[in-house]
Amino acid sequence: MKPPTDRGSLVLGAYVYAVLAFIIVPLVIVIPMSFSQNDYLAFPPTGFTLKWYAEYFDSRQWRAATWLSVQVAFLTAICASLIGTAATYAMVRGRSRLVTMFQILLIGPIIVPHIALAVGLYLFFQTIGLSGTVAGFVLAHTVLTLPFVVFTMAAALGKVDANLEAAAMSCGATRFQAFRFVTLPLVLPSLASGALFAFIISFDEPVVSFFLSGIRQKTLPRRMFEDIEQNLTPVIPAIATLLIVLSIAILLGGHALRSRSKTQSSAG
Amino acid sequence: MTKAVRSRFWHSDGRRLSGLSTLLLLLPFFAVIAFVFIYPIAQLLVISFIEPHPTLDNYARVIDNPVHARVLMRTLWTAALVTALSVVLGFPVAYYMSRARGALAAFVAVCVILPLWSSVLVRTAAWSFLFQRNGLINSALMALGLTSEPFKLLYTQSAVVIAMTHVLLPFMILPIYGALRSIPNDYARAAAVLGASRLRTFLEVILPLSLPGVVSGSLLVFLTALGFFITPALLGSPQEMMISTLVSKQIREVLDWPFAAALVGVLTAFVTLLAIVFSKTLRFDRLMGGAS
């Protein structure tokens, strides 16, 4: 390819950077706003203060919502990783016709609008007393995050040579031992990155949380929704900034894990 | 453990799991999906047909009532508009991304992927700051002397379309990028050697080969946009509801479950039908692949 120096390339470059600005600026803009002294959210922000962060950390309500979301996201990550890894292993090594059904069902939670699942679960969980409970949130979020764990694990397990397990088993290892001591160490970074993404998806999940939250038990996204809907206080930019930092941390963590898994599988 | 041992006896090559092991490993997945996904939605669909008595009235109300019919049309139109905008904004970015190398490629990729992993609420909140009477957009317009009065931007359908495009754009860019990356470089070189201009190479070689990505991204954006809830609920006007905000209103304010269930039924059936028709084109794994 010729180096892009002609006018067409310049126009393309300018257009692309304008679109990238459209993508990034709204996210970046909340950061200076979170340090603004203004009580109303005017632009440009003035002065510098940490009082909105203090307000977030001092508020019992915000703390309770955050703690609930952390618990739910943590348990969701564990459940989705266990169930997702078992199912993916069956899919990669299995020979059953169930695998086709599995693949269809896997797409379900991505295709079906979250509002449909949210409303269905709202009704169902109320009748069985799971509405507004940690277990209820975890079950719902496990369904929503499973596809992402499975995609990550399918890519990782697909790269592990089945002969490695066969060799371990011919040396006397059981299938479980072969998985535990041969395959699992090879896919561990991918498993961790899948769990990490399940955590952040659950932590940020707004729609199902919106309907399943009770009066007392509100997840962080539900509390944020109410705040934005009713009065849009300057605490929101502070929380948004913290959440963006969390996303960046998780993205970097996932990236580090994936590059580790690449070097490992090429070494193995 | 015994299960694992037994499966070894059944298949001495050790590469394939037995049917029983496969079933046991898949069981938790099937249980969760059946209990927390299929059952609740099936229950809603049943309600939409049998309450208050076996009837199709709930569905008739979706179409007969002009207000509801307009909500359906607005939802379809908004989703189509968001999809079209995403193609127009996203294709050049995907193309640029597929050509870029090194640090530049990494920078563009981060710009596209970071929003994907940040909360929809954060992005929607950001737009509600930007759209306020004294927000950045109005301040900028007034500073530039383009307007003396602040525009009403918040709680309009335009706000919903812009913010939804912002949220869904990565879902368009990544599949197109995936399709563009899978085109061998030789093709463009061959076209150039044979005398095609760069424009002609693009129009006759690159563009047709990238179409599967465009179709896949468009479906993904369109299907997601149809059921979008958070953004229309926070940025839209109560007079211009979309189907998801109407569902929410029916449940939280009107408490009309059968009608809400019918709305969910229409939405779910439509989305599922489209997904089945285009099941060959939808490549969800590309999203994760693109994120790596």
Q: Which three-class secondary structure state does DSSP give residue A224?
A: helix
pLDDT at B175 over 60: yes
- Best CA proximity match to B265, nearest among B42, B37, B96: B42
Report chain A residues whose CB lies below 8 A from the CB of B8.
Answer: 169, 174-175
d(CA A207, CA A197): 18
Residue in A93, A108, A174 nearest the CB of B33: A108
- Is A116–B268 a contact, with Cβ atoms under 8 angstroms apart? yes
Q: How far apart are CA A193 and CA A199, in angstroms?
A: 10
Per the CB < 8 Å rule, is B30 touching A105? Answer: yes
Rounded CA-CA distance B136/B141 in Å is 9
The Cβ-side half-sphere exposure at A188, using a 13 Å CA radius, reads 8
Q: Is the pLDDT of residue B124 over 80?
A: yes
Mean pLDDT of A194-219: 92
pLDDT value at residue A5: 59
How close B7 comes to chain A (CA, Å)? Answer: 8
Enter the ipTM.
Answer: 0.89
pLDDT per position as a tens digit, A227-243 = 998 878 889 999 999 99
Q: What's residue B4's pLDDT? A: 47
For the cut 80, the answer to whether the pLDDT of residue B16 exceeds it is no
CA atoms in the 13 A half-sphere facing the CB of B187: 16
Instruction: Give the residue-averaged pLDDT of B231-254.
Output: 92
Q: Which residue of B has its CA nearest to A124?
A: B40
Q: Quick one: A60-267 is in which CATH superfamily? A: MetI-like (1.10.3720.10)
Residue B135's alpha-carbon distances to A38, A45, A146, B151, B154, in angstroms, are 13, 10, 39, 10, 10
Q: Report the pLDDT value the prediction gives residue A265, as an integer from 0 to 100.
A: 52
Range A25-41 burial, b when 16+ CB lie within 10 A, else e: ebbebbeebbbbeeeeb
pLDDT at B160 over 90: yes
- Over the stretch B193-222, which tens digit does the pLDDT of each residue have? 888 888 888 888 899 999 999 999 999 999
Share of chain A above pLDDT 90, in %: 55
What's the rounded mean pLDDT across residues B134-150?
82
CB-CB contact of B231 with B119 (8 Å)? no
Give residue-wise pLDDT tens across range B27-67.
999 999 999 999 999 999 999 999 888 988 889 988 888 99
Mean of the per-residue pLDDT values for chain B?
Answer: 87
Counting residues of chain B whose pLDDT is more than 70, the rounded percentage is 91
Q: Cβ B134–A89 below 8 Å, yes or no?
A: no
Predicted pLDDT of residue A96: 67
Q: What is the pLDDT at residue B2?
A: 45
Domain architecture of chain B: domains with CATH: 64-186+213-291 (1.10.3720.10)
Q: A116-128 burial, b for 16+ CB within 10 Å, e for fewer?
A: bbbbbbbbbbeee
Q: Judge whether residue B245 has pLDDT over 90.
A: yes
For residue range B128-137, what is the model confidence (pLDDT) as tens digits?
888 888 788 8
- Nearest Cα of chain A lies from the Cα of B80 at a distance, in angstroms, of 16
Question: Which stretch of DSSP H or E encloses residue B28?
Answer: helix B19-33
- Mean pLDDT over A153-179 rounds to 87
Would the CB atoms of A90 and B21 count as touching at under 8 Å?
yes
Percent of chain A predicted with pLDDT > 70: 93
Average pLDDT estimate for A76-86 = 97
pLDDT at B283 over 70: no
Cβ-defined contact of B122 to A27 (cutoff 8 Å) = yes
On whether the CB atoms of residues A203 and A23 are closer than 8 A, the answer is: no
Average pLDDT over residues A132-145: 95
Residue A64 banded pLDDT, cuts 50, 70, 90: very high
